[in-house]
Amino acid sequence: MNTRIQSVNFEATEALQAYVNKKMSKLERFHDGILSADIFLKVIKPETAKNKHAEIKVSVKGEEFFASKISNTFEESVDTAAEAIEKQLKKHKEKFAKK
């Protein structure tokens, strides 16, 4: 799977990038046809408690799945967005398994 991480208005640390890559690699357990994952990390202005925004777009053959979450930390935002993508992937795989 090809994973691209884009950080908007800040520089993502290596630790954050490693965390995101690890989370994305776990998605491959739920669907073996994942082609790519695009992750957009953004700090929302003005500075508030919940200002870390993560968007994940996962492409499989013929489909794209998207999740967007805002939390106190990027890790939390990535976790909840990845969980949403995981549910979408499971549902998609089940739908095609029945055919």
Q: How far is CA 52 from CA 26, 35, 46, 59, 93, in A?
A: 22, 26, 11, 23, 30
Rounded Cα–Cα distance for residues 80 and 62 (Å): 24
CA 10 to chain CA centroid, Å, is 18
Rounded Cα–Cα distance for residues 47 and 61 (Å): 39
| Count of domains observed in the chain | 1
Give me the residues paired with residue 34 across strands: 60
Dump pLDDT digits (tens) for 65-90: 999 999 999 999 999 999 999 999 98
Residue 36, pLDDT above cutoff 90: yes
Average pLDDT over residues 21-25: 93
Domain extent at residue 33: 2-97
Residue 83 sits in a domain whose CATH number is: 3.30.160.100
Tokens of 91: 């549902």
